[in-house]
Structure 1
Amino acid sequence: MSLANKVTLFRIILVPMILVLASLDSGATGLAGDWGQVAAVILIFIASASDGIDGYLARRYGISRLGKIMDPLADKLLIILIMVMDAGRFELTRVAPWMVACVVTRELIVQTLRVYAAECDRPLHSNFLGKAKTSSQMIAVVAVHLSLALRAFPPVPGTEGAYWDFFMSSDVPFTVAMLYLSVFLTILSGLVYLWQNRKIITEGDQQ
């Protein structure tokens, strides 16, 4: 197994660890009760960074067939499973079920098209929006869980008022904006992907 694939496998292993840590809640206040959120966001940062690392290694040393499958799988597992969990606590995360539905539907359609194209031995066209979509989703997930993790710490002296209340709110403008932007790019990239590969859909294996 190449070094890039080992990094990707490491990212996949991190996913269940993140889910377990992010779901921990002892009921206590402060770091004693929310240490799981802090640990989870640290692992999310590491997982997000590893995405860039394995991409760099793959470009430098060559992309393997296994890597072509594992890398997008790792991204989707990380993003979708965390968003599904977050949708169950909308009051804290602002991740709505319909957002998760958009992400899952897009990925199912695109993956189905990829399998069909492979069966028909037809090349697929990709676009930069796919990378932009994944990046925006990663940033949104990090922003959501960073907000949750910060609640474990006491307010900085002098910020106990409205500023701290705003910063600790689940409606932080940047977080909400990134969630909506990620969903928008998810839908847009899916539509563009379908349009670019429309001949495969209409013609199938006809050359």
Structure 2
Amino acid sequence: MSSTPAGSRVQLAAEGGRGPRPGGFGPTAVATPANAVTAARLVLAPVVVGLVAASGPSWTVFGLALAVAGSDLLDGWLARRQGPTRAGAFIDPLADKVGVLGVLAACAARGEVSWAPVAVIGARELWMSGYRFRRARQGVSIPARPSAKVKTLLQAAVGGLCLVPPLAGQRGLLDALLWLAALLTVVTGVQYAVDGRRRPGPDEP
């Protein structure tokens, strides 16, 4: 789960062409403190997912997930201070998706929540990743929308609630929140598609 304050990092890194800040890193840097924190989150996210799949919701798993999610605030702060990088712009949202979608899928596999809203969220995220990659290859950068940040926060919040033991049996409530997150996820996907069409690439009319 993640609050993903790195939306600005994605936009800045996609713009490119900016030199490093004094004492910071340029956009092509890979071995940076921010990227190290993000990489650690990417490695730890499957551990959290595995614990959820094996033992279900617990305060221990919730605490670990919260700590992993909190690392997103740290790498975002480091990136703002030292300069965003293209590598960070790629692995940061990847780490977020692995964590959130993995936890939701594990909970669905255990019967804690329904598969349908999880499948909708997963399909949209996969499509969006492919769409942004394709448009980026065409020279088009699609900045993060505020609504997309709200979407990510809602997904993360629902994923976190699924790990709280007292709420584990409240499938009706969790499914309702999941469908709300799925709806917002689809709406933001449509918004991104419209934004992409309004931003023709260098070789497009």
TM-score (normalised: structure 2): 0.76
- Structure 1 equivalent of residue 127 of structure 2: 109
8 Å contact 1:8–1:74 — kept in the other structure? Answer: yes
Q: Which has the higher helix share?
A: 1
- State the shift of 1:190 in Å: 0.6
Give structure 1 stretches of 5+ with no counterpart: 26-33, 151-166
CA contact (8 A) 2:34 2:79 kept: yes
Give the counterpart of 1:24 among 41, 50, 54: 54
Closer/same/farther in 2, CA of residues 56 and 87 from structure 1, 3 Å limit: same
Name the structure, 1 or 2, with higher relative contact order (CA <8 Å, separation 6+).
2
CA contact (8 A) 2:49 2:103 kept: yes
Residue equivalent to 1:2? 32
- Pick from 131, 145, 149 the counterpart of residue 131 of structure 1: 149
- CA drift of 1:49 comes to 1.1
* Aligned pairs, number: 175
CA contact under 8 A between 1:24 and 1:37: conserved in structure 2? no
Cα deviations across residues 96-132 of structure 1 (Å, max 9, x unaligned)? 2111221121112211221211221122243111111
- The CA distance in 2 between the partners of 1:195 and 1:20, in whole Å, is 37
Partner of 1:163: none
Q: Residue 5 of structure 2 aligns with which residue?
A: none
Pair member with larger Rg = 1
Aligned to 2:183: 184
Q: Structure 2 regions of 5+ residues with no counterpart?
A: 1-30
Identical aligned residues as a percent = 27
The CA RMSD over aligned residues, in Å, is: 2.3
